[in-house]
Amino acid sequence: MSQPQDFIYLSPPHMSGREQHYIQEAFDLNWITSAGANITGFEQELGGYLGMHVAAISSGTAALHLALLALGIGPGDEVFCSTFTFVATANPILYVGATPVFIDSEPTTWNLCPSALEDALKDRVQKGKLPKALILVHLYGMPAQMKEIQEITARYGVPIIEDAAEALGSRYQGQLAGTFGIISAFSFNGNKIITTSGGGALVSADAKLVEHAKWLATQAKEHTPYYHHTTLGYNYRLSNISAGIGRGQLEVLEERVQQKRTVFQNYKRLLEDVQEIEWLPEPEGFFSNRWLTCITLKKGSSLTPEQLRLKLLEGLIEARPLWQPMHRQPLYHGAAYYGGGVADDLFARGLCLPSGSSLSLADQERVVREIKGAF
20: enclosing H helix or E strand: helix 19-29
First to last CA, the chain: 29
Domain membership flag for residue 263:
yes
Domain with residue 77: its CATH number is 3.40.640.10
Mean pLDDT of 102-108: 98
* Count of structural domains within the chain: 2
Domain membership flag for residue 14:
no
Return the bridge partners of 203, or none.
54, 184
In total, the chain counts a number of residues equal to 375
- Quick one: 200 and 310 in the same domain? no
- Quick one: 91 and 203 in the same domain? yes
341, pLDDT greater than 80? yes
- Quick one: 198 and 270 in the same domain? no
Domain membership flag for residue 125:
yes
pLDDT tens digits along 232-257:
999 999 999 999 999 999 999 999 99
Task: Please state the three-class secondary structure of 90-156 as a single string.
Answer: HHHHHHCCCEEEEECECCCCCCECHHHHHHHHHHHHHCCCCCCEEEEECHHHCCCCHHHHHHHHHHH
pLDDT of residue 1: 45
- Quick one: 259 and 246 in the same domain? no
Mean confidence (pLDDT) of the chain: 96
Mean pLDDT of 305-316: 98
pLDDT tens digits along 44-94:
999 999 999 999 999 999 999 999 999 999 999 999 999 999 999 999 999
- Quick one: 240 and 323 in the same domain? no
The catalytic residue positions are: 192
Confidence of residue 33 (pLDDT cuts 50, 70, 90): confident
Domain membership flag for residue 195:
yes
4, pLDDT greater than 80? no
- Quick one: 270 and 139 in the same domain? no
- Quick one: 309 and 237 in the same domain? no
Q: Which of 198, 215, 250 is the last residue of a domain?
A: 250
Domain membership flag for residue 2:
no
32, pLDDT greater than 90? no
- Quick one: 311 and 238 in the same domain? no
pLDDT tens digits along 136-173:
999 999 999 999 999 999 999 999 999 999 999 999 99
Q: Which of 215, 250, 285 is the last residue of a domain?
A: 250
Work out the percent of the chain whose per-residue pLDDT is above 70. 99
Mean pLDDT of 87-108: 98
**Could you give the CA distance from residue 80 to residue 102 in angstroms, rounded to a whole number?**
6
Domain with residue 272: its CATH number is 3.90.1150.10
Provide the whole-model pTM: 0.96
2, pLDDT greater than 80? no
Which residue in 165, 166, 172 sits closest to 146, CA to CA?
172
Which residue in 140, 123, 141 sits closest to 80, CA to CA?
123
pLDDT tens digits along 348-365:
999 999 999 999 999 999
Q: Which domain covers residue 369, as residue numbers?
A: 253-374
Helix 60-70 to helix 207-217 angle, to the nearest 10 degrees?
Answer: 120
Domain membership flag for residue 164:
yes
**Could you give the CA distance from residue 342 to residue 348 in angstroms, rounded to a whole number?**
10
